[in-house]
A and B are shown apart, each in its own frame.
Chain A
Amino acid sequence: MNARANKNHLTSIEPAYYEAVTEAIRKEAVKILKEETVVGVVGYLPGRRKGTATPALVTSVEEAEKLIFSPACVNNLSVYLTKAKKGVLKQGKVGIVAKGCDMRALAGLMTESQLQREDLFIIGVVCPGVYGFGVERTGTLTEANIARKCRECTVHMPEGADVAAGTHAELADLTPEEAEEMARIEAMPQAERWAFWKEHFSRCIRCMACRQVCPFCYCEQCLCDKNRPQAVESSPRPAGNMAWHLVRAMHLAGRCGGCAECERVCPMDIPLNLLNRRMAKELKELYDFEAGLAPVEKGPLNQYKEDDDQSFIK
């Protein structure tokens, strides 16, 4: 909270800031690999094209010296622990580079017993924001190229990380585009809301990128892949699309950390994070739950109180 009060009013984040963070990450990654605290570090390496970054699992000191952090480091790496590189956790403690939003995902996964805190060494990044999609990647982060989710970020400081890389920096006076869009949709008449989502969902090609990239979609078999009985039609037709997106939003309700990776990877530009945001808002209003940086005992839909609101039940 103190950090918030003394935030300097910046209009751009210069490459120097990211270089400083990069230095801190490298130093820490090299140290923990040398000391053999961890078997590997999940972080970002430079991409093949200039101004890009690619997620990687580094296991040697030489590789760790190449780790970077830049506004192109958009990925939520926690997905590598539950899905892509699941096996690595069995070999020992793993280091992970995490932005604030990634740490919320890690906390959520710990809540659900998918990860143990003692198996992780979290290199928290004091993240001022990352690039949005289709923007000019100049190396400097400004209001023009910051991601939509970062405009309303509340977790610039990775509290609870083992080490924090970077000092505090965030852009000032960003318009909350996503909140405005959500308010706009909520204010629409019901038929227009249906038309809005129907148009968006009808474009869905069911590539399942939103599912694959989500750290919380770790079910070995997804309900939506089952066909005996089939709950959700699997072909990309409007009926199945609507059902899939509703089921997805429902299954993430009370769990989603808000990293908006689903929206980022969507090739058809469906505003998926709006659904996640709407559910988060509802759970905040009803049960005072917010996805945080620390694990909790149970998510809001896995617990109950005897006096929960039941005004909608006859």
Chain B
Amino acid sequence: MPDFEPKIVAFVCTWCTYAGADLAGTSRMQYPPNVRVLKFPCTGRIDPVFILRAFQKGADGVLVSGCHPGDCHYMAGNFHARRRFAAFRALLDFVGVDLNRLQFSWVSAAEGGKWVEVVTELTERVRTMGPMPEFKELEHEELWSTFAGAAGGKSAVLNSPELKEAYDSIG
């Protein structure tokens, strides 16, 4: 895949990872510019729906990063997030999303180096995987695509000759 620049969205907590990324910047460390950082109060605030939305709107990879366990500014936000994302990962895997595109990490405010490492690794991994087509394709499909795309054999259930005839008769 030549000239493919992956889009990475990073959901980070303001107290640790955002400060860590800031430290990487002020320390003049280099990391891929593919990452778009979004700041949240806490990993506990990061809803799985944000991750879905990122993928739908064109992200090729998503990073969720916050404070190490025990360091949460709100005491337990990252503990709750840890359970929630463990469950969410299982769900995404069950519907057939490649979990290599979704990375979770703990990066503290002092770990500028780790931030660079995490971002570089994810970016390079996604670069070799190529763009993520699944969610983006959904964005461009209509309910009727299953009928119209019948030639492509997309749907076995909604593709009976009767339905096809009815669909074609609509024009």
The reply to whether B138 and A236 form a contact with Cβ atoms under 8 Å apart is no
Smallest CB-CB separation from B92: which chain A residue?
A: A246
How many residues on A have C-beta within 8 angstroms of the other chain's C-beta atoms?
A: 51
The reply to whether B87 and A254 form a contact with Cβ atoms under 8 Å apart is yes
Quick one: which of A185, A195, A236, A301 contacts B87, CB cutoff 8 A?
A301
Nearest chain B CB to A225 CB, angstrom units: 13
The reply to whether A237 and B91 form a contact with Cβ atoms under 8 Å apart is no
- The total of Cβ contacts below 8 Å across the A-B interface reads 134
* Residues of B close to A308: CB separation below 8 A: 79, 82-83, 86
* Residues of A close to B98: CB separation below 8 A: 190
Task: Name the prevailing secondary structure of the A interface residues.
Answer: helix
The reply to whether B142 and A193 form a contact with Cβ atoms under 8 Å apart is no
Quick one: which of B49, B82, B143, B156 contacts A232, CB cutoff 8 A?
B49
A62 to B53, CA, bound (A): 54
- B36 CB-CB contact with A under 8 Å: no
Quick one: which of A197, A239, A310 contacts B95, CB cutoff 8 A?
A197
Q: Give B residues with C-beta under 8 Å from A.
A: 47-49, 52-53, 56, 69-70, 76, 79-80, 82-99, 103-106, 118, 134-135, 138-139, 141-143, 145-146, 154-158
- A135 CB-CB contact with B under 8 Å: no
* Residues of A close to B156: CB separation below 8 A: 199
Given contacts A203-B146, A304-B82, A313-B106, contact A246 B96 (CB under 8 A): no
Contact residues of A between 206 and 241, Cβ < 8 Å to B: 223, 231-232, 236-239
Quick one: which of B52, B79, B106, B146 contacts A246, CB cutoff 8 A?
B52
The reply to whether A202 and B146 form a contact with Cβ atoms under 8 Å apart is yes
* Residues of A close to B146: CB separation below 8 A: 199, 202-203
Nearest chain A CB to B161 CB, angstrom units: 18
* Residues of A close to B103: CB separation below 8 A: 314
A310 to B88, CA, bound (A): 13
- A300 CB-CB contact with B under 8 Å: yes
The reply to whether B97 and A194 form a contact with Cβ atoms under 8 Å apart is yes
